[in-house]
Amino acid sequence: MTDILNVRKNPSINSEIINQIPYGTKINTKKTEILEIFDGKSSSWHYVKEVNGFVLDNFLARQPEIKNSKKLTLKSSYSFLRCNPYGIGIYKTLTLSNKESNLKDEFIDFIQGERKILTGSYNLKNNYIQLEMKESELQKIDYSEGKSIIKEKNKSKNQKIKIINLIWKDQIKGFITDEQEKYLAASKYKLDIKKCTFTNIKCKEYNPFKEKCTEERENSDVCDDVGYYCNR
């Protein structure tokens, strides 16, 4: 068993991946008569109703398993590449398993950070995963000693339900949110598939230690690195 299950558009190991299912997720499948040799064994393809795609049966468990420690971990970042030489960014770590979701949403400014902890559930919806979460805790983080130290923790008063749709895109090997569709326009943005980021092609190189910052650059998001969720 693996941490994720790739869902194919058609019943073929060479078919496009249209979604990824976290380990431990309960799904409904219908066995087809289509067979494929995988790892030297004959396996049948199953149709998965929730995501409108196909998976091989040797990756499926017939009975519910004891709650496991395997989790699908997705990371995303947003770096404000403007005038600050030390970097400011938003870093997110999402874990999914057994229909439970946990998100660490952290804003870091050099040696200080503010972290939100969101918890909830997730559901499969065709080619995306829908998260439904609430803020449970707020933390103040210190990085002055080179590691993450929680200085303060408070229970969140914000009980508003947050809905996030993670849409799988096979060409970037990751998930984007609804508002990130525009970044797939290759004529406007550069894709770094190793870093899981998009950057505007209009961005000009800038050295904050040598060049004077302009007001235009300080207030512009043109050079910001926009990250998408990926399993790296």
Q: What's the average model confidence in pLDDT over 153-160?
A: 93
Is pLDDT at 4 greater than 90 in this prediction?
no
Question: pLDDT category, 145, cuts 50, 70, 90?
Answer: confident
- Whether the per-residue pLDDT at 110 is higher than 90: the answer is no
Identify the CA nearest to 128 among candidates 74, 182, 77.
Answer: 74
pLDDT band at residue 45, thresholds of 50, 70 and 90? very high
Contact 109, 90 (CB under 8 A): no
The pLDDT > 90 percentage for the chain reads 57
User: What is the pLDDT, as a whole number, of residue 182?
Assistant: 87
pLDDT at site 25: 87
Span 206-210, mean pLDDT? Answer: 73
Predicted local confidence at residue 95, as pLDDT: 95
The pTM for the full model equals 0.86
* Average pLDDT, integer, range 145-161: 91
Q: Which residue has the tokens 């971990």?
A: 73
Q: What's the whole-number mean pLDDT along residues 201-221?
A: 81
Whether 89 contacts 80, CB under 8 Å: yes
Pick from 198, 166, 196, 150: nearest CA to 22 = 166
Contact 73, 66 (CB under 8 A): no
Using the predicted structure, report yes or no on whether residue 210 has a pLDDT greater than 90: no
Q: Tell me the β-bridge partners of 72.
A: 96
Mean pLDDT confidence for 167-190: 90
- What band does 62 get if pLDDT is binned at 50, 70 and 90? confident
End-to-end Cα spacing for the chain: 18
Nearest CA to 106 out of 94, 115, 95, 117 is that of 115
Task: Identify the pLDDT of residue 1.
Answer: 44
Rounded Cα–Cα distance for residues 116 and 180 (Å): 22
Q: What percentage of the chain has pLDDT greater than the value 70?
A: 95
Residues 6 or more apart whose CB falls under 8 angstroms from that of 21 comprise 4, 5, 7, 27, 48, 51, 55, 124
Q: What is the mean pLDDT of the chain?
A: 89
> What is the structure's pLDDT at 64?
61
Q: What's the rounded Cα separation, in Å, for the pair 158 and 146?
A: 31
pLDDT at residue 196 tops 60: yes
Q: 136, 192 in Cβ contact below 8 A?
A: no
Q: Kindly indicate the confidence band of residue 116, based on its pLDDT and cuts at 50, 70 and 90.
A: very high
SS3 call for 159: coil
Please state the rounded mean pLDDT for residues 66-91: 82
Asked if 82 and 215 touch (Cβ cutoff 8 Å), the reply is no
Residue 220 has pLDDT above 50, yes or no: yes
- The CB density around residue 227, as the number of other CB atoms within 10 Å, is 23
Higher pLDDT, 38 or 126: 38
CB distance 96 to 83 below 8 Å? no
Closest listed residue to residue 96, CA positions, set 78, 77, 120, 60: 120
